[in-house]
Amino acid sequence: MTTVPCKVDDCERPTKGGARGWCGYHYRQWWRTGDPIPPQQPTPLERYWGYVDTSGGPDACWPWTGHLRYGYGQIRIGNRQQVAAHRWGYEQRVGPIPEGHGILHRCDNPPCQNDRHWFTGTQADNNADKMQKGRQRNLRGGQHPNAQLSEEQVRAIRQSHAAGGITYGELAPLFGISKSLVSQIVARTAWKHVD
C-alpha cells in the first residue's frame, strides 16, 4: 500500500483517510481554526520588540511594557523560565555578558531597553555607580523602617545595664525586644553607630 504525502507544501507526513488529503496534524489544525496551516509564531526577538516602546526616539528610554519583576522587564523565551529582558536583549543585540558582570543602566531606569543606556559592570561597579549618583540610601538605626528602637532607647539600655542591677531578661520586656537583642546592643554588635 502506497502512502500519499499531505497536500500541504513541504509536509512529508502521510495523509489520513477522510482528512481531505491532509495529514492528521494539518487536518486537526483545519478543524480548530478553519485553516490547515498554523499561523506563523513570532520569533523570540520579535516577541521581545513587541514589549519595547521606542516611541521616544533613539536617545530616550525605551520602557518595557510587559511583565515587570522588581522593576525590571521579564520575558519568557521558549520553555525557559522568565528571564530579565535587559540581560536577554543585551545578549541578542550587543553580545555576550562578561563572566561576573551585570547590565547597568546609565539612565537609572530599570525597565529601559535602550542599549545606548546599558553598560556592563561588576556588583562593585554597580554599587559605586549608585553612590556616585546619590541613589544609595544608608538608613541606619531609627531611620530604618524596620527599626524597633530609637537611638535614645539604645542609649538607655546601655546606661541601665552599665549602672548594674538589671539583667538582659529584665530589660527586654521594658523595650519590647528580645533578650538576645539586648545582649547585642550592650556588646555593641548591634547599633554600633550609637555612642
**pLDDT score, position 158:** 94
d(C-alpha 195, C-alpha 154), whole Å: 9
Q: Quick one: 108 and 181 in the same domain? A: no
Q: Quick one: 147 and 164 in the same domain? A: yes
Q: Quick one: 51 and 30 in the same domain? A: no
Output DSSP code: residue 52.
Answer: B
The total number of structural domains in the chain stands at: 3
Q: Quick one: 91 and 128 in the same domain? A: yes
Q: Which band of pLDDT confidence, cut at 50, 70 and 90, is reported for residue 153?
A: very high
Output DSSP code: residue 115.
Answer: G
pTM over 0.85: no
Q: pLDDT for 28-57, tens place per residue?
A: 989 998 998 888 878 899 999 999 999 999
The per-residue b/e assignment along 10-20, b for 16 or more CB within 10 angstroms, e otherwise, is ebeeebbeebe
| Block residue for cell numbers 523602617 | 145
